[in-house]
Structure 1
Amino acid sequence: MLLRFTKMHGIGNDFMVIDLVSQHAHIQAKHVRQWADRHTGIGFDQLLIVEPPRNPDVDFRYRIFNADGSEVEQCGNGARCFARFVLDKRLTTKRTVRVETQSGVIELTIRPDGQISVDMGAPRLQPTEIPFQADREALSYPVEVQGRTVELAAVSMGNPHAVLRVEAIESAPVHELGALLEQHPRFPQRVNVGFLQVVDRHNARLRVWERGAGETQACGTGACAAAVAAIRQGWMDSPVQIELPGGRLSIEWAGAGQPVIMTGPAVRVYEGQVRL
């Protein structure tokens, strides 16, 4: 069968988006890996699937698969693309939609200027909720990696993140240390690793090593986690502008127990069909 899809990106973090509301298919991990290949497939960081909701209080179900075929809980850049997709495809006429994810319900709003704001919910900071192995919650944690100690913050934005402060993102050991920390035993579900350079009280630069995908041009949940870590440790104040290799995101967070609001663009690249 032929399956319609849309290629999209959120500041360079790219996606294949499939509507399984009007189409019907059973997508397996092998299909995801095949389509994700940038030489022989479509090429993307994540596959996003739009499904009918299981919960009557929400508009859609949102599923995310990494390029390696693993399903994950959340993706912020993908959420903005999801909102643009369902509106463009006339799956809804609402400018604000509630979406069910593996990690809970999020709310997506398409603003008059075309930017999309996502209420990502409150960050989870208790180690058991991240999940991260630690005796108690702390602003940061020392972690041993191949005989050296690195200091990192641990935050869940519906998916686990480690945030490390660096002097300059250009010289940060993203590929070496990111790959080691992704698989670190203190993160039982693996982890996304952000390397944060604080520029001033409201501006920062970030590179992210994503579990199951490697370094990406942008990571929305990574930007949210980095902003939360920086605000909690007194390095920055909300709102925070995060500059990633693919572009800029605006992050607002009022503090403990409050939701993180992420705002940025979502772009449709092309439409296609793939044989399943």
Structure 2
Amino acid sequence: MTLGQFHKMHGLGNDFVVIDAREYALEIYPVRAAAIANRKNGIGCDQLIVLRSSDKADVKMQIFNADGSEVESCGNATRCVAKLLGDTTSIETEGGMLLGRAIDGGAIVDMGKPRFEWEAIPLAYAMDSLHMPIGWEDLHDPVVVNVGNPHVIFFVDDINNVPLERLGPIIEVDPVFPEKVNVNIAHISGNSIYLRVWERGVGVTLACGTGACATAVAAIRRGLVKGPVDVHLPGGILNIAWEDGGSISMQGPTTYVFSGEADWNNFG
């Protein structure tokens, strides 16, 4: 029996199972991660978060999507981990080093510097990352940004008129994105951004922290807004601040739902 505690948390409805595995050995592989994330037969979540010891930071965070794939970064999960651990926490991820600080009702996270070079996204071949000469049906002229994971952003007149559930999985796996991509559909109103996101390996979510960061950066680079900017997602609002050459700051709420224990051997 491999019995361990878990925490269920969410950031704006983007929900996580968080396992602190720093004091015991726990093997997580795609089938097990997907079984834990399953909403009918498992605990249920958008992403599984596994905390491990780090020789570079206070904690290392592994992130598994609901389909079992491991990904580099997750903004909402980073806020949840910062809130769970309290105070100021340095967090090692595959997408880079992050710094989180717990505040009343949530957390502020330094998400690091965004990348714009085509090979850093990555793209399959060289092209302009601020105005990609590519499109899918009525979606065209996107921006691509890497904020620890890859994002493509489309600015549209009405985010609800875009069939994201159909186009999201098509764009996600397009060969131009060799590591797949997160798809963001955004509308600018004043100095606010309204956003829907198709998350790589998850689908449409109520909120995506890295998507909010990438979209805010893209809008600032194009001169559509000035930071800091409020990003409105179906699950709520994130405040994103960024200046050219600097790191991205993301502030938003977190919610602790419940804790429990599970025998991880029962999950694949």
The CA distance in 1 between the partners of 2:254 and 2:139, in whole Å, is: 38
The CA distance in 1 between the partners of 2:139 and 2:42, in whole Å, is: 40
1:207 alignment partner, one of 191, 196, 201 = 196
Identify the range of structure 1 (15-24 vs 3-12) with the bigger mean alpha-carbon deviation: 15-24
Change (3 A) 1:148 1:208: closer
**1:59-98 maps to which residues of 2 (within 5 A)?**
59-87=58-86, 95-98=87-90
Change (3 A) 1:142 1:148: farther
The CA distance in 1 between the partners of 2:204 and 2:24, in whole Å, is: 32
1:125 paired to 2:119: no
% identical equivalent positions: 42
- Do 1:140 and 1:151's aligned partners in 2 also have CA atoms closer than 8 Å? yes
Q: CA deviation at 1:135?
A: 2.4
- Aligned AA (2:183): V
Residue in 2 that maps onto 1:143: 134
The CA distance in 2 between the partners of 1:28 and 1:134, in whole Å, is: 31
The CA distance in 1 between the partners of 2:146 and 2:211, in whole Å, is: 9
Change (3 A) 1:69 1:77: same
- Aligned AA (1:142): P
1:223 alignment partner, one of 191, 201, 212 = 212
Residue in 2 that maps onto 1:101: 93
4+ residue segments displaced more than 6 Å:
none
1:24 paired to 2:25: yes
Q: How many residues are matched? A: 263
Q: CA deviation at 1:21?
A: 1.2
Q: CA deviation at 1:20?
A: 0.6
Change (3 A) 1:144 1:239: closer
Q: Deviations over 1:52-75 (max 9, x none)?
A: 1032xx211111000111110000
- Aligned AA (1:203): S
Question: For 1:31, what is the secondary structure of its paired residue?
Answer: helix
Residue in 2 that maps onto 1:90: none
Q: Deviations over 1:11-62 (max 9, x none)?
A: 000000000113331122111111111112111110011111032xx21111
Q: CA deviation at 1:264?
A: 0.3
The CA distance in 2 between the partners of 1:22 and 1:163, in whole Å, is: 40
- Do 1:142 and 1:149's aligned partners in 2 also have CA atoms closer than 8 Å? no
Q: CA deviation at 1:148?
A: 6.8
The CA distance in 2 between the partners of 1:143 and 1:272, in whole Å, is: 47
Q: CA deviation at 1:238?
A: 0.3
- Do 1:132 and 1:154's aligned partners in 2 also have CA atoms closer than 8 Å? no
1:196 paired to 2:186: yes
- Aligned AA (1:81): C
Please, what TM-score do these two structures have when normalized by structure 2?
A: 0.94
- Aligned AA (1:272): G
The CA distance in 2 between the partners of 1:138 and 1:35, in whole Å, is: 36
The CA distance in 1 between the partners of 2:4 and 2:102, in whole Å, is: 27
The CA distance in 1 between the partners of 2:226 and 2:30, in whole Å, is: 41
- Do 2:80 and 2:106's aligned partners in 1 also have CA atoms closer than 8 Å? no
Q: CA RMSD in A?
A: 1.4
Gaps of 5+ in 2: none
